């Protein structure tokens, strides 16, 4: 098979950066220098409820206009999307409750605005042999009142479309990357592919999952004394049935799903790689952002405010119903340790927010916020990737919303070999 890719919810191109090992872009043209074999035949990026489209503008600045769509994916005619062998995307974690369509008793209608169903529509129309998706780790246990239902809906839908599924929650910071960011990666393959047929025929699927799988040889885990849990969703006739009646437990952090049967376990990550620290990121960023970082410094009254935000608290509050309760939160490292990978970066990065990174800058002899370039390097994008006319706030938001591209780069060679062998 060829290596044709469609990227949904493309953002500023994280999957493409990872798959094509992009380290820099041409300073004159702004175009990314792609070092991989993947042909991105179509990409879609649309940000609702905003007049400007900074993520899309960044994407076309780095990759050109050809085959790139800035239309609400819900309005895209899925038949018009080019044929492809791999579908990739990082989609929002929302409420995946579903219902039967009133106009078609056999139809399934997702909650309005949930982008998962647009992925399903693409799979139905184009049937790509392979899928690689990324989502937040809470997907495996949401919603709170029906643990695991959302992921079970996804699995059942993929089963009905003819796929087998593997997943893994990966903490990038444990595998030589500069951010302790936990995300769930989902790899699915059509049952008729050689790859899927090989897995279906394996008798000891527990051993396969522990020692190999799609993820667990590249991101190794402890395999001794692993508590495997097995269950089935065969009793549910479709995704609607699961949405209404699923009452099982959350899914564990790595698993295999074949013919309605689930094998999964909670991983203990076992990396042999050296830590890639926040301090190393700061040092690497120095040559890309000038010498003076005074505008990022915090001091005086502002510093006192940050010390309060980062400190431990026990505050009596009153709920809307009049009930009194104690709100508490623990102490955070302040400033952030330079000897570890960074904490998870959020879309609120750089705002006056407890989660914002504050580092001690030895050149300034002051505490400061991280820069836009440092934020990009924490996600393993090329420096100044988002310097495409965005505001500073938008640049931080894009990185808080992105993935650690190094995770995709590590998976790329195996993924390429699987597809080419099929």
From the candidates 6, 10, 86, 93, give the one annotated as an active-site residue.
93
Compute how many other C-beta atoms are within 10 angstroms of the C-beta atom of residue 241: 15
Is residue 417 classed exposed, middle or buried when 0-12, 13-18 and 19+ CB atoms within 10 A define those classes? exposed
List 90's β-bridge partners, or say none.
134
Could you tell me the sign of the dihedral formed by the alpha carbons of 271, 274, 276, 279, in that order?
positive
Secondary structure of the chain as H, E, C letters? CCCEEEEECCCCCHHHHHHCCCCCECCCCCCECCCCCCEEEEEECCCCCCCCCHHHHHHHHHHCCCCEECCCHHHCCHHHCCCCCEEEEECCCCCCCEEEECCEEEEEEECCCCCHHHHHHHHHHHCCCEEEEEEEHHHHHCCCCCCCHHHHHHHHHHHHCCEEEEEEEEEHHHHCCCECCEEEEEEEEECCCHHHHHHHHCCCHHHHHHHCCCCCCCCCECCCCCCCEEEECCCCCCHHHHHHHCCCCCCCCEEEEECCEEEEECCCECCCCCCCCHHHHHHHHHHHCCCCCHHHEECHHHHHHHHHHHCCEEEEEECCCCCEEEEEECCCCCCCCCCCCECCCCCCCCCCCCCCCEEEECCCCEEEECCHHHHHHHCCCCCCCCCCCCCHHHHHHHHHCCCCHHHHHHHHHHHHHHHHHC
Is residue 93 within 8 Å of residue 135, measured between CB atoms? yes
d(CA 134, CA 38): 18
93 is catalytic: yes
- The residues that are catalytic are 93
């Amino acid at each position: 098979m060829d290596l044709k890719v469609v990227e949904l919810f493309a953002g500023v191109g994280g999957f493409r950066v990872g798959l094509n090992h992009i380290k820099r872009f041409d300073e004159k043209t702004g175009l990314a220098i792609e070092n991989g074999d993947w042909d991105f035949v179509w990409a879609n990026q649309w940000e609702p409820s905003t007049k400007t489209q900074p993520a899309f503008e960044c994407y076309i600045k780095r990759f050109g206009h050809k085959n790139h769509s800035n239309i609400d994916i819900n309005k895209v005619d899925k038949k018009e999307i080019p044929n492809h062998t791999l579908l990739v995307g990082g989609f929002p974690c929302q409420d995946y409750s579903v219902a039967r369509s009133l106009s078609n008793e056999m139809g399934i209608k997702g909650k309005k605005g949930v982008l998962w169903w647009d992925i399903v529509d693409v799979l139905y129309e184009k049937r790509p042999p392979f899928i690689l998706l990324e989502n937040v780790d809470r997907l495996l246990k949401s919603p709170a009142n029906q643990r695991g239902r959302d992921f079970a809906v996804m699995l059942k839908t993929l089963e009905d479309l003819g796929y087998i599924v593997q997943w893994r929650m990966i903490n990038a910071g444990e595998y030589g990357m500069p951010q302790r960011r936990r995300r769930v990666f989902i790899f699915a393959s059509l049952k008729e592919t050689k790859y899927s047929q090989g897995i279906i025929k394996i008798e000891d699927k527990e051993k396969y999952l522990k020692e190999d799988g799609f993820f667990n040889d590249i991101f190794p885990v402890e395999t001794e004394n692993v508590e495997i849990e097995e269950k089935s969703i065969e009793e549910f006739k479709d995704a609607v049935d699961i949405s209404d009646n699923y009452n099982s437990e959350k899914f564990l952090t790595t698993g295999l799903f074949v013919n309605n049967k689930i094998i999964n376990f909670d991983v203990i990550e076992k990396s042999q790689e050296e830590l890639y620290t926040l301090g190393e990121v700061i040092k690497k960023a120095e040559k890309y952002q000038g010498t003076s970082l005074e505008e990022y410094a915090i001091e005086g009254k502002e510093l006192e405010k940050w010390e309060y935000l980062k400190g431990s608290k026990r505050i009596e509050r009153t709920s809307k119903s009049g009930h009194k309760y104690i709100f508490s939160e623990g102490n955070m490292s302040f400033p952030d340790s330079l000897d570890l990978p960074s904490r998870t970066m959020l879309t609120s990065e750089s705002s006056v927010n407890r989660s914002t990174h504050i580092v001690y800058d030895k050149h300034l002899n002051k505490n400061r916020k991280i820069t836009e370039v440092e934020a990009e390097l924490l996600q393993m994008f090329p420096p100044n990737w988002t310097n495409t006319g965005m505001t500073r706030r938008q640049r931080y938001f894009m990185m808080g919303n992105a993935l650690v591209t190094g995770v995709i780069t590590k998976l790329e060679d195996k993924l390429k070999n699987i597809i080419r062998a099929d």
